[in-house]
Structures are given as structure tokens and as C-alpha cells.
Chain A
Amino acid sequence: MSHALAELLAEGPPTKEAIDRFASAHDIPLVDRDGVTFLYRGEAEQVFLRLFISGLPAAQPLERVVGSELWLLRFALPAESRFEYKFEVQRGGSTEWITDPLNPNCAADPFGANSVCQGFGYLPPEWTLPDEGARAGSFDEFALDARGLGRRAVRLYLPARLRRTRRYPLLVLHDGSDYVRYAQLKVVLDNLIHRLEIPPLIVALTDSPNRLNEYVGLDAHADFLVRELIPAVGARVPLDPDSSARGAMGASLGGVAALHAAWRHPGTFGRLLLQSGSFAFTDIGENKRGPVFEPVVRFVNAFRANPGRPAERIYVSCGIYESLIYENRSLVPLLTQNRIQVRYEEARDGHNWQNWRDRLRAGLTYLFPGPLWMVYE
């Protein structure tokens, strides 16, 4: 227990006012070198910490300080961890999942928002913050009719100072809108390009209205990217035709879609950035992740049997607290055995957008190294 919390409890059950004073004077949850303490204040029959860490129970009960409205839970947490959570509050026969009222730090995702716990030593990377000095890129939009998939809106990230006389690398991104909304993609691209850590590049941001069908190893989706999307982008902006200047990227099922497209069309994408890919497979027996994963397992099993060389260089990352850590770790030796240059990174984080945001610099600079050593403006 932290010294401050021990002081709060030293004189018996704290009053409502004392708890509020304490909460406003400290960052909640309380984080120290060894662990984290969660606090909840309020009347309830039971309060659970709902967290998304593989290896820990999904629901952990907070313990009420007798005679008070204060609920506590403490557990050990390795330094530099970061994860997202909610409280489940049971009161008057109803159950409610809420973000932590005492913690203003929330992360948004397509399903809403979660509270964020930043372990000891974790700091959001400074390159994810807007830099007024960085020249801002822009977005351009167009739509095309994808064969077998329907009409698709595509957003292009165009780097600042785009020149028609120059040919640019292209990165095809799955769940592009979510990357912009939840992982600060545009800020990161602007900053890394400005700092010369990556070259000015074009990013084609795609979204799918039906990712559970299209991002699971669907041939039509891979064909759309290669035969329709890339030529359409190339008609709008000058692209470097070399495969080393062409990448595909995605997180979760988006990672599956990126790997599948590169595998189905070898020689197209020289670079792959795969974040927490849902690379479910079976060595023997049935898929236990549910019917959505049936096509994923079919593709990943086929890939594992015959990986070929989908790209020359691949960056793979995964959160240690994700259930997918086993699948991602298993992917790495398979890739390296096939003469693919691989950079693999793990972080003490979960399956979420801020984890993917925090790995963008390492991934992008590995795949598309910028002219940092040569350019001094």
C-alpha cells in the first residue's frame, strides 16, 4: 500500500469528503514501482475491475474499506506497463460497466472508451504529440468500385511539400480511419517525416464496412488492394514502383488482411507492418476462437505450411498482455527461416489503439528509414 493511502486509512474509515480530497490530490490509480492500486468511491454491493490482460482474471473484485464508501484493489504491475480497464459496479440489482470516475485518462476505440492505467515509468511518446513546427501533410479522398466488394472510399495521406516530379513510397493501411482517430496517425506521420525519420510517403487509408468478412483472408479483398487500389492511387500521385517502397499494414484482423494480401501477391509489398495480428492457427484439433476465426485459421494454417516470401522486411509487434501473444511469437521464427528480415517487438500493453500508436515509430522507421543521417536543413 502506498504511503499516502496508508495515511488516509490510518485514522479509521475515511469520510466521503476525505476520499474526494485524496482523489483530487493524487493521480488515480495509484502507481508505484511495484504495482498499482485502484480506488472506487460510491455505494455498491460489489465492484469489479474489468480488465483486458491475458493471464489475469477478467474480473477482479475490489474490497470495501469497512465503514466507508471506498473500494480498493492492488496488484503487482511490471514497470512501463499500460493497459485499459473499466469498473463493473453492481448496485440495486443492476450491473453497470463504467470508466473510472477518478481517472480522467481515457482511451477511445470504436466501441467507446476505456480508462487507462499507465504503470510506473510509462510515458506517452513525445512524437505522438502535435508539433507546431512540423509541416502538416493533408488528406485527399476518392472513391472506387471494388470488384466484388462494392464502392469504397479511400483517403490518401499526402506529405507536406508533395512534388509531382518525385516518386513516393506507398503504405496501404487497413482500418485507416481508426488509425487516424485513435492512434494519432496523421500527427505521427507529420512528425516522423518532419524529423526525417521516415521519407515523405503516401498512405492509402482503407476501411471496410465488413472487416469480419474481408479482413480474414478473403482473396477478393487482397485482389482489390493490388489490382484496383494501388493503380488508382498511382493514377493520382507518383509512386515509386520498387517493392521496397511499398508496404501494407494493419492491426488485429487488419494485420491478417495485410499479410494475406502480401502472401497472395508476392513481390507487390516489400514491407509489412503487422500489429497484434490475429494470426490464429491450429497445429492439431479444432479452432477454439469461434466461427469468425474459421477463415483466419484456414489462411494462417495454409500460410504456415507454405509461407513463401510475402515481403523482404516485416515489422511485427504485439502486447504481452494480449491473448494473441502466442500466435505472434510463433510467427517470427517462421518468417526468419524464410530469409525475411524481421523486427519483432513486445510491449507491456494490450490489444488496443494506444499500443499500436506507441509502436508506429519503431515500425515505420524500420520499414521506411528516412534520410535522417544525410539531411540537415
Chain B
Amino acid sequence: MAPTIARMRDYAVLGPQFHAPNLSSCLAALGIAGPLVAVTAGWQEREGEIEELREHVKLPVTDLQLYARAEQVYAADPALARAARERQERLQEMQDFYRMRLMALMGALAELDAQEGSSATLRRARRGALGDVRRLDRTHVAATRAEHDRFARDWRASPRAALEAHVEVLERAIAGARAILVAGGHVAVLLNRLRLFGFEALARGKPLIAWSAGAMALSDRVVLFHDRPPQGAAHAEILEPGLGLMPGIVALPHGHVRLALEDPQRVRQFARRFAPARCLVLEHGSSLRWHGGRLAAARDVRRLARSGQPVEYDT
């Protein structure tokens, strides 16, 4: 169940903003004309290079510098840095093992899908194989969530001076803003920084506008995907739970490049695997807006349907 605050706040999900950005029209639609703060931690060393963004929105924008702040926190608090590194190593190991198990289950699913016929037995076997994948996904989400919870319990329960100093600065910056922008980039790096500074608490009821990896990090589960990678298997995989501030969706930026949308079998499988979440293909120009917990507008967004087709998604 998504937190009430998530269901009640205004928020928007956009497609990639690299070419032909539509952030300014989204802000206008949300009635936001005041100062903004931005999270560009996913850009890593390019964090804070927001001149183009400022020119586009024609509003004051302050970058929250979460990537740089995290480096400062870790430098000032070596024990926390070590614990964070060890947690990341455990998460990496969990991801590797999850991927191994996923390969086997996806292989079984593919074999069953390749079987000819439509007997009840075959249909049942296919459902069962998909159920195995969904169960593994759930297990992985639970395990990674537990890892993050344990870290928060062990290391964030009592105040840590270096971290709290930054949190106070961030609280003030966000308090003076009309909305928070969360840009894309490296989704794991972004999510890691959002978690470190307790972004859910910081964001409170502020309107959120996120795109690409930003939307992925703020949804319930971070689904990594590419149907045509140059190396390795092309199975979508779950990284870990997202922050759940944009519930009920799986954000799929650049879907036309990354997904085999012309392949009904893959589209169908993707939609069923992550149901009941809506798997939404976000391209340049895509936008979704929620108001008072309800989807208020959708533009140029396609949903992966169980029929095997990407279909237009609207209110």
C-alpha cells in the first residue's frame, strides 16, 4: 500500500528531456510558477550542470547537489562510508544471484512459450512458469528492502552529524521551493543518494516531477530493462524497491529503443510479469500528471497491454 502522502500529492512523470523537453509545459499545467529545486545526482560528475534546464523552465532552479553531498558525508563519516560500501557489495552479490536464478526461470518460460499447442496443461505450465518469475521478483524486492531497512536501523537510527548538517540545508532549500524535479541518469546512484538523505521525508507533500531514471527511482520497484543489449541476456530485472512516491507504475523511458515493442510475446510477458503495475513507455514528449491521488492527464504515453500491444494510455 502506497503511503497516503504519495496518493495525495501532485506529481508528474515525463519522458526523457534530452531533446525537445516538455518540463516547462508540465509545470504550467501544474500551476507551478515559483522557484524549484532539482535532484541531478543521477548525472554523477555532471551533477548541477542545469543551465539548459534553467533556460528551458525560465524559473529559478537550485540543484540539491546530493551526489556531491554524499561524497562529503562519506569523507567526514568513514564508518558510515564503510557500512554503505559493504551494503552495496551485499546488494551487488544479491543482484548477481538473483540474475542467475532469473536466467533459469526465464529460460523455462521461453521454452514453454515456444511449445506448440494450446492445451490446458500447457497453459497451466506457462502460467506456473510466469508465477515462478513473479515470485522470484517479489523475493528479490523483499530481500533488498530488508537490506536497506537493516542499514537504516543500524546506521540512521541515531543522528550522524555530517549527514544531519546536510539534511538541514536540504530541508531549508526544499521548503523554499514550489516543486522538486528529479532528473534521470544512473538509477542506482540516484536512488542511493535519495535514500541516504531520506528523500521521502524531505519531499513531504511537495509536488514532484520526475523523468527517466528519476521516475524509476520514485516508483515502487526499479525495473532495469533492455531487450536488445549488445552482450548478455535481455531479461528485464528488478534492481530493488523504489521510494514508492509514484506508486503503481513501471516507468520505461526510451522504450522504443530499449524494448522490442513489435514483439507481442515480449510485450505480453512484460505486462503480465509486472502486473498489476502499469508498464508505461515514456518517450520525448510523454507526460503523466496526478492530482489529488488521481491521474489527471496523460499525453503520448503507451502502456504495455496483456494483449501484446503497446496501447495509448489515457485517463
Chain A residues within 8 Å of B, Cβ to Cβ: 133, 161, 163, 165-166, 195, 197, 361-362, 365-366, 369, 371-377
Contact = CB atoms under 8 A, between A and B. Distances in A.
A376 B45 contact: no
A186 to B, nearest CB: 19
Contacts of A377: 16, 18, 184-185, 212-213, 253
Contacts of A374: 186-189, 224
A373 B226 contact: yes
B184 to A, nearest CB: 5
Contacts of B257: 195
Given A376-B254, A377-B213, A362 B230 contact: yes
Contact of B45 (A166, A195, A365, A372): A166
Residue of B16, B18, B212, B229 with most chain A CB atoms under a 10 A cut-off: B229
B312 to A, nearest CB: 22
B172 interface: no
B46 A369 contact: no
A10 to B, nearest CB: 41
A376 B213 contact: yes
B230 A361 contact: yes
Contacts of B216: 376
A195 B212 CA distance: 15
Is chain B's interface secondary structure helix, strand, loop, or mixed overall?
mixed
B19 A373 contact: no
A189 to B, nearest CB: 14
A-B pairs with the 8 shortest C-beta distances? A365-B230, A376-B213, A376-B212, A377-B184, A376-B253, A373-B224, A163-B45, A166-B45
B231 interface: yes
A195 B228 CA distance: 12
A166 B71 CA distance: 14
Given A166-B45, A376-B216, 5 more contacts: A163-B46, A197-B230, A376-B187, A376-B213, A377-B185
A361 B228 CA distance: 13
Interface in B51-109: none
Nearest to B253: A376
A369 B231 contact: yes
A376 B231 contact: no
Max chain B C-beta neighbours (<10 A), residue from A133, A166, A365, A374: A374
Interface of B: 16, 18-19, 42, 45-46, 184-189, 212-213, 216, 224, 226, 229-231, 237, 253-254, 257
A374 B217 CA distance: 11
Contacts of A133: 19
A256 B254 CA distance: 41
Contacts, number: 51
Contacts of A365: 230-231
Contacts of B189: 374
Given A161-B46, A163-B45, A166-B45, A375 B187 contact: yes
B185 A376 contact: yes
A65 B184 CA distance: 65
Contacts of B16: 376-377
A29 to B, nearest CB: 31
A365 B226 CA distance: 15
Given A163-B45, A165-B45, A377-B213, A372 B229 contact: yes
Contacts of B212: 376-377
B90 to A, nearest CB: 18
B186 A372 contact: no
A368 to B, nearest CB: 11
A369 B45 CA distance: 19
28 contacts: A133-B19, A161-B46, A163-B45, A163-B46, A165-B45, A166-B45, A197-B229, A197-B230, A361-B230, A365-B230, A365-B231, A366-B231, A369-B231, A371-B186, A373-B237, A374-B186, A374-B187, A374-B189, A374-B224, A375-B42, A375-B184, A375-B187, A375-B213, A376-B16, A376-B185, A376-B212, A377-B212, A377-B253
Contacts of B188: 374
Nearest to A375: B186
A373 B186 CA distance: 9
A214 B253 CA distance: 49
Given A161-B46, A163-B46, A166-B45, A373 B185 contact: no
A362 B230 CA distance: 7
B284 to A, nearest CB: 10
Contacts of B230: 197, 361-362, 365, 372
A372 B184 CA distance: 13
A38 B29 CA distance: 63
A190 B139 CA distance: 39
A354 to B, nearest CB: 19
A376 B188 CA distance: 10
Contacts of A372: 226, 229-230
Contacts of B42: 375
B249 to A, nearest CB: 14
Nearest to B217: A376
A377 B49 CA distance: 14
A339 to B, nearest CB: 20
- Most B C-beta atoms less than 10 A away, residue of A362, A365, A371, A373: A373
A375 B45 contact: no
A365 B229 CA distance: 10
A326 to B, nearest CB: 27
A350 B149 CA distance: 57
A163 B47 CA distance: 11
Nearest to B188: A374
A75 B101 CA distance: 48
A366 B18 CA distance: 27
Nearest to A164: B45
A375 B46 contact: no
A316 to B, nearest CB: 15
Nearest to A195: B257
A371 B226 CA distance: 12
